Amino acid sequence: MNIAFIPAKHRSRRLPGKNFRIIDNRALWVHARDAALSSKLFDEVVVSTEHDRPPHLCHDSTGVVQVILETCQPCDYVCCIYPSPFIQAKWLTESFSRMNNGIDMVMGVQRYVHHQPLMDLECTPMPEAYQSCGSFYWAEWTALNRERTFYGNNCIGYEIPSEAHIDINTPEDYHEACALYETLQKKNRLPV
């Protein structure tokens, strides 16, 4: 059994009401739910707000892993999908297919952009690097329960093109996401 878990609390510290902000006539959490349903990977899709959690799980200091482990029934795999208009069912399906051969966690990552110095100096090329992009995190249930993090020892990344996703945490991110969504819409490159 697989569970999609969408954290959609009303009180966001950095961007109030973030999960309920609208892009293309849908709240951000609805985009995530629709991608989860379209993937056909999940037996259950949980949209979790402060209103359906016990009080001790509603504090800002409570991590999403603790909420998942205390509110969801044990399953084979859980995927934490953060509210975003860019999440694609294809990403969820392809990343899930990598959960084998000792890999028990997969997260959406983007190429890390190295900033070049402002001076005209010859620079040593930087190695390619990746960072979590706050999109989704897959975990095998027993590994998540054991490690209590999505950054476990047997975790790999699934690369998401930087031009196809923005982690929305500030008003500026939201405005940038609105513009990117409109651009992708014009190019017919939106999630299906």
Q: What is the pLDDT averaged over residues 107-122?
A: 71
Answer yes or no: is 171 within a domain: yes
Tally of domains in the chain: 1
pLDDT for 135:
94
Q: Strand pairing partners for 1?
A: none
Answer yes or no: is 191 within a domain: no
The whole-model pTM stands at 0.91
13 pLDDT tier (thresholds 50, 70, 90): confident
Answer yes or no: is 192 within a domain: no
pLDDT for 189:
80
- When comparing pLDDT for 134 and 72, which is higher? 72
- Residue-number span of the structural domain to which 86 is assigned: 2-186
Residue 170, classed as helix, strand or coil, is coil
CATH number for 180: 3.90.550.10
| Whether pLDDT at 165 is above 90 | no
Residues 121, 18: Cα–Cα separation, whole Å: 41
Render pLDDT for 169-185 as a digit per residue (tens, 0 to 9).
Answer: 999 999 999 999 999 99
